[in-house]
Each structure stands twice: as structure tokens, then as C-alpha cells.
Amino acid sequence: ACGTSYHAGLIGEYMIEEYCRIPVEVEYASEFRYRDPIIDDDNLVIAISQSGETADTLAALREAKRKGATVMGLVNVVGSSIARETQGGTYIHAGPEIGVASTKAFTSQVTALALLNVMIARTKTMSAETGRRIVQEMKALPEKVEKALQCDALIQKIAKEFKDRPNFLYLGRGYNFPVALEGALKLKEISYIHAEGYPAAEMKHGPIALIDEEMPVVVIATKDSTYEKIISNIEEVKARKGRVIAVVSEGDTTLENMVDYTIPIPTTFNFLQPIISIVPLQLLAYHIAVMRGCNVDMPRNLAKSVTVE
């Protein structure tokens, strides 16, 4: 996978290893084909691409097939090259994605990987009851995403305050780390502001040197097993005068007096949380880009389908 699809793949890795206990490795397609990866006919390779035409991903799946692996496609465009060249797979049916920066395709990719995760887990140790609860929760996701969108006015206010900052830092742990990567990518793509996504614990291994009162830090701090740790990371940022925008679980007031802004969102199973957590980050990138006069649909130097290596 490449770009946004790679971030969706990371979430897929986390969930399949947690629920199915199968080792998973996510690779940048552009690196995979050149490093002589150890794969054989006992491996499944999933090629993730919105367009189904990404040159690097196509080259990687051909290399995987050459080595004997079973190759599956996870694409949006029906009849695309990846769909034709793989042995099976699924369409995410997100509909045409007009803007260059991928948004709804990310949501649909994570959803499709979550369904694959449940289907595999049910053949292993997941009970029928757990499977039913997960599917019911997935059916409730559209309503929860709709609720997350209601933070739009708050996010516009945040965007107005920080739109002229030259740098942003995005932090997350666990399932929210790929969300931090994706949030930073969206800001870079459409607003032309430099942004980095990091695992929150890695901040102290270098990026903390960048923290001052001019550095907005977006932290995905929804309640999960790493919640206490993420609070500690926020305290580290605030101790160095960093400005913190925290995406938090609905009803959680712990961080209200600790950070500059909290954006409350609905909660769900941890492995489905990225589908909701990404929404405020997409909105933040959108509003900053609009306020800066950027072309949100057609950012400079980018193409919807990257057909060159």
C-alpha cells in the first residue's frame, strides 16, 4: 500500500494480530519490491489502493505473485488493474472520490479490513456473540460519524487560531497512531503546512525538541488501554509550552483544564475507533486549507491516481 492506504493497512495489521493472532506486516509498496521480501505460497498479500492503478502497488503485487503468494485486492474502482490482476478480493464501494486527498476511501478501507478481521477471527477463537456485537457496532458507525461531524463549528474556531502556524505535530498510541499519521498527511496535502505524525511515546526520542508555544500538537486521546500514558505525553507537551488540541472520548472531562482545546467524539470498539477519530482531523485540515485559500480538491503537485513509480 501507499499513502493513505498504507495507514489503513497499519490499522488492519493491528486488528488482525490482536483478534486473529496471525502475524501481519504492512509494507510501503515502493519499498517491498526492491528488498527481496521473504514470502512464499504460504502467505496472503493484500494490495490496498483506492484507484486500483497505483504503479508501486501493482509492481509489488506482481512481485508477490512471482514468489508464489496468494494476492488479494482491496480497491475502490471496479475493473481496475489491481482488481484484474489479483486472485480475489473486495471492492470497498465508496463511490467516486473526486478530491485528490483520500478521505472516504480511508474510512471504507478500514471498514473492509475490520470485516475481514471478524470473518477470520470467527474461524479461530472469536465467539458468535462477540462477532454479532461487533457487526451491530459497525452498523451504528454512520450515526456516530454523523455525531463527530457536529464538532465542525469548534474545529473552524481551532482552524482560525492555528491556520498560520508553519508546523504541526500529531500524536497517537495503539490504533490511534495510524490516525495521527493520516491526520498529518491530510494537513500536508491540502493546506501545505508541514506536519508530522508520531507514536506519542516516540516524542521524547527527538520531536520533543521542537515543542514550544508556536507548535500546535494534535493528540488523539480517546479512552483505551493507553489512556494514562497519553495523558503523560500531553503533560510533557504542556510543560514545554506546547499548544494541545486533544480528540477525546465523549463525556471525558479529564483533559478539559489541561489542554487548549478538546474535541469530543463518540466511542466504539478500539479497532473501529479510527473510523471516528479521523473525522475531526479531516475537518481540521479542510478548514485550515480553505482559510489559507488553498484548492482543497486539487492540491498542487498531487494526482488522484499515482501511475508512475
Q: Does residue 164 register a pLDDT over 90?
A: yes
Query: Per-residue pLDDT averaged across 282-297, rounded?
Result: 97
Per-residue cell: 16: 488482525
Per-residue cell: 105: 476511501
**Burial of 85 from C-beta contacts in 10 A (0-12 / 13-18 / 19+):** middle
- List of residues 6+ apart from 101 with CB closer than 8 A: 4, 186, 189, 190, 285, 296, 299, 302
Query: Per-residue pLDDT averaged across 130-151, rounded?
Result: 96
pLDDT, position 307: 66
DSSP string, 6-31: HHHHHHHHHHHHHHH--------HHH
Entry pTM: 0.94
Query: Per-residue pLDDT averaged across 80-108, rounded?
Result: 93
Alpha carbon distance 180, 105 (integer Å): 17
Q: Does residue 62 register a pLDDT over 80?
A: yes
Per-residue cell: 217: 500538537
Residue type, 161: E
C-alpha distances (whole Å) from 123 to each of 41, 117, 147 are 21, 10, 34
pLDDT, position 80: 94
pLDDT, position 197: 97
C-alpha distances (whole Å) from 154 to each of 163, 171, 192 are 14, 20, 22
Handedness of CA 139, 147, 222, 216 (dihedral sign): positive
Which of 98-107, 139-148, 276-285 is the least confident region? 98-107
Q: Does residue 306 register a pLDDT over 80?
A: no
| CATH node for 3-139 | 3.40.50.10490
Find residue 261's DSSP bridge partners. Answer: 245
Across all residues in the chain, what is the average pLDDT?
A: 95
pLDDT, position 234: 96
Residue 309's pLDDT band (boundaries 50, 70, 90)? low
In this chain, the answer to whether the domains covering 3-139 and 146-291 adopt an identical fold is: yes
Cβ-count burial 255-293 (b if 16+ within 10 Å, e if not): beeebebbbbbbbbbbbbbbbbbbbbbbbbbbbbbbeee
DSSP helix/strand/coil, 168: strand
Domain 146-291: state its class.
Answer: alpha beta
Residue 249's pLDDT band (boundaries 50, 70, 90)? very high
Condensed to tens digits (0 to 9), the pLDDT of residues 111-126 reads 999 999 999 999 999 9
pLDDT, position 305: 66
At 107, give phi and psi (nearest 5°). -55, -45
pLDDT, position 301: 87
In the chain, where the domains are located: 3-139, 146-291
Residue 308's pLDDT band (boundaries 50, 70, 90)? low
